[in-house]
Amino acid sequence: MAKPFVAGNWKMNTSISEAIKLARALRPALSGIDGVTRVICPPFISLAGVSAEFVGSDIKVGAQNMHSEPKGAFTGEIAGAMLKDVCDYVILGHSERRQLLGEQDDFINAKVRAALEIGLTPILCVGETLDQREAGNAGTVVEGQLQGGLRDVSAEDIGRSVVAYEPVWAIGTGRAATPEMAQEMMGLIRYEVARLSHIEIAGNVPLLYGGSVNAENAAELAEQRDLDGALVGGASLKADDFAAIAKAFATRA
């Protein structure tokens, strides 16, 4: 079974000083919660500062995006090698980037491979829109995003990755998927990850649910068999709420 895993995606929130303040509140709130990997993903500009706040703790840091190329003329972009100095994880293929910035599976796949090559752990995000769900296509869409995002990634590298299922209709809406709905998709994702790698490898890949996770609904989500953790947006900006979510997954059977 995959080790429980919670990640906080701060998105485009917090100034540098706010980020440091939040990191200082998170450090004591998250320490002592054993048995769950805890990852904080602040904006690029605060990565180094937040990382420094967590030195000597087992709280990890991640970026929210990176470019697939190692360096060069890509104004405004950040390469994996730059991130490697300050963090261990990188969120890739988030639906906000897919939807608002037009990122497609090919580009996301290139980023996933670049991240793994440099030694960063990708948190690959997949998830359907409301229209796709209502048309009965949620499973096909998610399978396609997994196949696209993990194309030409070795079984061993898939085993070093994290997958987050974030239905677009549940993000920031206060309307989380029901635990049953989330489990149904997680089962499908586990199966697809196994098909792309190996059944034993897939069993150890943390599968996260994201979309309106909060301190109240985390416990029942954590009860679901294939739901190893959460990728948390809004509630990760409050130290106590994020710690409560981490605790809910730490005690998962």
**Which pair of tokens denotes residue 219?**
């416990």
Stretch that binds ligand 13P, among 79-87, 110-118, 211-219, 243-251 (CB under 6 A): 211-219
Stretch that binds ligand 13P, among 104-112, 187-195, 228-236, 242-250 (CB under 6 A): 228-236
Q: Min. distance of Cβ 43 from ligand 13P in angstroms?
A: 13
Residues numbered 153-182 forming contacts with ligand 13P, rule: CB under 6 A: 166, 171-172
Q: Min. distance of Cβ 140 from ligand 13P in angstroms?
A: 22
Q: Min. distance of Cβ 211 from ligand 13P in angstroms?
A: 5
217 binds ligand 13P (CB under 6 A): no
Task: Single out the catalytic residue among 94, 103, 128, 192.
Answer: 94
What's the CA gap between 246 and 243, in Å, rounded?
5
Contact 42, 81 (CB under 8 A): no
62 binds ligand 13P (CB under 6 A): no
Task: Single out the catalytic residue among 53, 96, 128, 166.
Answer: 166
Q: Min. distance of Cβ 196 from ligand 13P in angstroms?
A: 22
CA angle at 77 for the pair 75 and 80, rounded to the nearest 5°: 140
94 flagged as catalytic: yes
The binder of ligand 13P chosen from 50, 116, 185, 232 (CB under 6 A): 232
DSSP states of 55-73: TTSS-EEEES--BSSSSSS
Query: Residue 35, Cα to own-chain centre: how many angstroms?
Result: 18
Contact 112, 161 (CB under 8 A): yes
Q: Min. distance of Cβ 170 from ligand 13P in angstroms?
A: 6
Enumerate residues 6+ apart whose C-beta is below 8 A from 249.
4, 5, 6, 36, 218, 222, 228, 229, 230
What's the CA gap between 93 and 3, in Å, rounded?
22
CA angle at 4 for the pair 212 and 21, rounded to the nearest 5°: 60
The binder of ligand 13P chosen from 42, 149, 179, 210 (CB under 6 A): 210
- What residues act catalytically? 94, 166
What residues line the site for ligand 13P (CB under 6 A)?
9, 94, 166, 171-172, 210-213, 231-235
